[in-house]
């Protein structure tokens, strides 16, 4: 219950920030993709299952604010959360910059996937170059935000765990 409330609070905060303050602060015309960042953080810190759940819930919440068919963002973020969670199990890196690269790579791949699915459904009419540019800029923006957002999400997620985690 506590974790569900936490997830709802994080998703709502990300949505509010994405549509207000970050809508005004654009990086070469692109916004950050905070929901992608949140999904990757959950997957990185908690594993594939929480990652997929966070991605699905966050994606569905964002979908209901869009004029496009609902479910495209949810599909994208579910797969992204699961993939990042699985990848995390096989990559052991003590480097503090690893999450930054993971967020950048994950966001880039996720936005491209979203663009391809939207295009196949006839919902997106932009050039490949434009899609790649937006994916790259969103990835860069999310990477810049990672050192600020990740520690907050880490503290929140780890604080909500009921049992102690044994690190090894």
By C-alpha distance, which of 52, 62, 41 is closest to 147?
41
Site string for other proteins, 78-107 (x = CB under 8 A): xx--x--x----------------------
Q: Which structure tokens are listed for 135?
A: 């994916």
| φ, ψ for residue 27, nearest 5 deg | -105, 105
Q: Report d(CA 64, CA 57) in Å as an integer.
A: 11
Nearer to other proteins (CB atom), residue 26 or residue 152: 26
Nearer to other proteins (CB atom), residue 41 or residue 43: 43
Smallest gap, in angstroms, from Cβ of residue 163 to other proteins?
A: 15
Contacts of 149 (CB under 8 A, 6+ apart): 34, 37, 38, 41
Distance of alpha carbon 131 from its chain centroid, rounded? 18
Residue 143 interacting with other proteins (CB under 8 A): no
Residue 60 interacting with other proteins (CB under 8 A): yes
Q: Report d(CA 59, CA 39) in Å as an integer.
A: 9
Stretch of residues binding other proteins (CB under 8 A), selected from 38-46, 71-79, 90-98, 150-158? 71-79
Residue 69 interacting with other proteins (CB under 8 A): yes
Q: Report d(CA 158, CA 137) in Å as an integer.
A: 30
Residue 65 interacting with other proteins (CB under 8 A): yes
Q: Which of residues 108-127 bind other proteins (CB under 8 A)?
A: 111, 114-115, 118, 121, 124-126
Cross-strand pairs, 109: none
Residues that bind other proteins (CB under 8 A): 12, 15-27, 29-31, 33, 35, 47-49, 52-53, 56, 59-75, 78-79, 82, 85, 111, 114-115, 118, 121, 124-126, 130, 134, 138
């Amino acid at each position: 219950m506590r974790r569900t409330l936490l997830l709802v609070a994080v998703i709502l905060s990300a949505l509010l920030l994405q549509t207000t303050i970050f809508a005004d602060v654009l990086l070469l015309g692109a916004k950050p993709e905070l929901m992608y960042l949140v999904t990757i953080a959950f997957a990185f810190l908690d594993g594939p299952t929480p990652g997929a759940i966070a991605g699905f819930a966050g994606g569905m919440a964002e979908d209901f604010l869009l004029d496009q068919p609902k479910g495209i963002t949810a599909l994208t973020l579910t797969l992204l959360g699961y993939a990042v969670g699985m990848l995390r199990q096989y990559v052991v890196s003590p480097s503090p910059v690893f999450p930054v690269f993971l967020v950048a790579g994950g966001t880039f791949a996720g936005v491209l996937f979203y663009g391809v699915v939207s295009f196949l459904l006839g919902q997106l009419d932009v050039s490949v170059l434009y899609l790649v540019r937006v994916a790259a800029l969103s990835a860069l923006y999310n990477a810049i935000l990672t050192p600020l957002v990740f520690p907050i999400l880490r503290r929140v997620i780890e604080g909500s765990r009921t049992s102690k985690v044994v690190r090894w």
